[in-house]
Amino acid sequence: MSRIGRHNEAHLVARIGWLRAAVLGANDGIVSTASLIVGVAAAPGARPSEVMLAGIAGLVAGAMSMAAGEYVSVSSQSDTEEADLARERRELAADPEAEHAELAAIYQARGLEPATAREVARQLMAHDPLTAHARDELGISEVTAARPIQAALTSAATFSTGAAAPLVLAGLTPAGQTEPVVSIGSLIFLAVLGALGARTGGAGMLRAAARVTFWGALAMAATAGIGRLVGTAV
Ligand SMILES: [Zn+2]
């Protein structure tokens, strides 16, 4: 029986590394919750309890939406991979000759001599036919998903961690100061996180920090503007 290597990491985590996935989740949490808080706080006459309620609702809604999205995405990727592997297993059982020729053709297309390609295909299929076909024909090197619940919980947790930062700031800030304190504080969190994420990915820290700070500032400016407009109108 053939084995395809399994690992425990969640979907997004498997793709980009756990620290960067955590940074991105936290980033989402900060931007959306801070924007929500700033937007509500910008409405004239907004009470501190209303601002906090909006922030808490934003945390819960965002965490649930991240969890649901990740669950669906991981599940469907997992289903697709399982179906591909099942089909490949059937084909290998039904017509090993054709499968050998198929694999040899793949290696030949990658630059091996025809005789070498046939020999490589023969040896790899003797060793582990399903893994050879999964990797070189389907492009599946490991079964990535299989843990949609874990992926969902990871996303919800990283989002909530990020969302907690502006929420705590809002809770500690005296009424009337919420807008500047939450927006400036959140931009600092974003810059630090952006630099950290870039550092782990080997990219430029300053540019990454500037990028997330820019988009965060834009999001908060937009919701503050809307909060002020709508808050004045109602
Ligand atoms: Zn095949």
pLDDT block averages, 10 residues each, the chain of length 234: 43 61 88 95 90 95 93 86 92 94 96 96 94 88 66 91 96 89 94 85 82 92 90 74
Measure 16 CA to ligand 1 centroid, in angstroms.
28
Measure 87 CA to ligand 1 centroid, in angstroms.
9
What pLDDT is stored for residue 98 in this prediction? 95
State the distance between the two ends of the chain, measured CA to CA, in whole angstroms: 68
Measure 74 CA to ligand 1 centroid, in angstroms.
24
Measure 135 CA to ligand 1 centroid, in angstroms.
10
Measure 73 CA to ligand 1 centroid, in angstroms.
26
Measure 127 CA to ligand 1 centroid, in angstroms.
15
Measure 103 CA to ligand 1 centroid, in angstroms.
7
Measure 119 CA to ligand 1 centroid, in angstroms.
16
- Residue 61 CB-half CA count within 13 A: 9
What pLDDT is stored for residue 91 in this prediction? 94
What pLDDT is stored for residue 11 in this prediction? 55
What pLDDT is stored for residue 8 in this prediction? 40
What pLDDT is stored for residue 6 in this prediction? 42
What pLDDT is stored for residue 146 in this prediction? 53
Residue 64 and residue 57: Cα distance in Å, rounded? 11
What pLDDT is stored for residue 55 in this prediction? 96
CB atoms within 10 A of CB 101: 14
What pLDDT is stored for residue 12 in this prediction? 57
Residue 37 and residue 48: Cα distance in Å, rounded? 10
